[in-house]
Structure 1
Amino acid sequence: MRHVSELKYHKLYRARDGRLLGVCKGLARYLDVPVTWVRLGVVFLAVFSGVWPVIGAYILAGFLLRPEPVLAPGSDDERDFYSRFAANKKSGREELKRRFERLSRRIRRMEDVVTSKEYDWERRFRDR
């Protein structure tokens, strides 16, 4: 399994393991370039266009970008769920509750089958 830091995302996230808010590292992962190049680009942009606008944009990006998922999403469904959860935590909790209730029902049905008397008889006949 690949670590989150090794993945290229299809969406721009703020890196959790970045130096300052993780904006440069997140942008580097999104663009699939070394983070040093992005950091140098930000420094050159600050020097040649003005320090305060770049610092303001950097801080704004740090607060507006969502942090990258703790575990890399394995599918589009997982990526969509993470985006919904990051946008609205209440609906994300409700979705998790529904998923766990469905899973709990499935486990109960499996337990009923495995612990039923018919299952025991079928297993005994099969073993002979």
Structure 2
Amino acid sequence: METQERTGYSVVSKIRMKDKNHTYRWVKHRMFYIYSPDNGRLRFALCLYHMALTSSNVPDFMIVNIIKGKVVVKNKLDYKNILSPGELEVLKFLGEGYASKEIAGILSISINTVNRHRQNILEKLKVKNSTQAFKDSFF
């Protein structure tokens, strides 16, 4: 996708934030990406936050073509449809800070299997590291 075309999209997601009374509230998070005209690289992202009346008002994740006003992708980051059950288990333990050797012991699998699951997670989710995979997973 060309840089000019990418500017026509935004990402919408649902997050929780604590209010001044320490009560969690649902918030609609919308992100717009701004690219450099010089080199086409991402320059910055603009985030907008809007209080949601209920959690059902906001999908977990979607990509919107803001020029056409159409939803392009909705809830595509459902990792249960992308990752195998074994990969999901490994990702959960990675997010909790366990090392591969510890995960292998907990799940009674070889460290080679854990490492294969880790590789598959990175490839399937198109992320650079396990931390990013867990952060994006909404566990």
Greater strand content: 2
Which has the larger Rg? 1
TM-score bracket, normalised by the shorter chain, equals under 0.3
State TM-score, norm by structure 2: 0.25
